[in-house]
Amino acid sequence: MPDKIEDAMQIIHQHAPQFRAKIGIILGSGLSGVADEMTHTISIPYQSIPGLHVGRVSGHPSLLALGQMDGVPVACLKGRLHLYEGTPYESLRILIQIVKHLGCEVLIVTGASGSLQPEVGPGEVMAISDHINMQPGNPLIGPNDESVGPRFVSLENAYDADLRRTLIEVGARLGFNIHEGVYLSTMGPVFETLAEIRAFRSWGADAVGMSVVPEVILARHCGIRVAGISAITNLAVGLSKEKVTHELTLSSGDRLARTLAKLIPAYVKEVANAL
């Protein structure tokens, strides 16, 4: 185990000595309330863990929550670290490797996003089927640690088709119509221009956001299966008269958290039973 992740795990084990998780969850903007569905929770601030930065964006508490969700042990990241804040890739790598070393076989990545499809509006949920990476870098650039994963990583089926199928089935059982689509990730923190939205739609993107992709790449590098859930908080610029703002993202995210608070625990239990 690399020194930095070993230091991080020592601190975590001081708080939760015997804890082992089956599933990891990353909660995006305005979605941290989903973690309220957990029981027997131990919360560890990111700033207490060596190598991690603290996010400063509203709607991201920066807490590692360890506990049970519908009887399944989970490691929940309440708030993500964004590259546009100046967070180094090293912090993202440590965060995902913590999930791996806690025992997680599956990572559920959620994120707020703008829809590029007029018929998929605010309040809808999209299962991510693939991504387009428009961020300027890649978290695997630099020397590779073979103890974590291989130098070259295939992103074919990066968003596991079986996990996605299960998500849609669980959603249907609960009365939720879950869409499928391609997520495009930009660096941020600016929202997209009209010209960019037109270009992204022509490329086949269905939703756009400022996160998700680096974490998915890192998870696949260390062998964790990924399910992606895009919480649609708004229509992209040019598709609605409503002005796109972070406040809109948070208010819509809060409403979506109520949907995901029903969907994710049921999904977690279904996935855990199949592992």
The series of mean pLDDT values per 10 residues for the chain, 275 residues long, is: 85 95 91 90 93 70 93 93 88 94 97 94 95 94 93 97 98 96 95 96 97 97 97 90 70 79 96 95
Concerning whether 29 is annotated as a catalytic residue, the answer is: yes
Q: What pLDDT was estimated at residue 256?
A: 83
240 is catalytic: no
**Do the beta carbons of residue 64 and residue 98 sit within 8 Å?**
yes
Q: Which pairs with CB-CB distance under 8 Å and at least 24 residues apart come from 250-253?
A: 250/29, 250/30, 250/58, 250/59, 251/30, 252/30, 252/112, 252/122, 252/123, 253/28, 253/29, 253/30, 253/31, 253/59, 253/112
How far is 245 from 235, CA to CA, in rounded Å? 11
Q: Alpha-carbon distance 46 to 172, whole Å?
A: 35
- Give Dmax over CA atoms of the chain in angstroms: 52
Phi, psi of 77 (to 5 degrees): -95, 100
Q: For residues 240 and 227, give the distance between their C-alpha atoms in angstroms, rounded to a whole number.
A: 29
Q: Which of 15, 43, 48, 85 is catalytic?
A: 85
CA 182 to chain centre: 15
202: its two tokens: 């022509």
Question: Domains of the chain, with CATH numbers?
Answer: 3-81+90-140+151-209+222-274 (3.40.50.1580)
pLDDT of residue 253: 66
Residue 60 falls in the annotated catalytic set = yes
The active-site residue, picked from 8, 29, 115, 127, is 29
246: annotated active-site residue? yes
144 is an active site residue: no
Question: Which one from 16, 246, 261, 266 is the annotated catalytic residue?
Answer: 246
Nearest Cα neighbor of 205 from 230, 188, 227, 224 is: 230
Confidence at residue 131, expressed as pLDDT on a 0 to 100 scale = 98
pLDDT at 243: 74
Q: Catalytic site residue 82? A: yes
Catalytic residue among 124, 234, 236, 272: 234
The pTM is what?
A: 0.94
Catalytic residue among 43, 84, 144, 240: 84
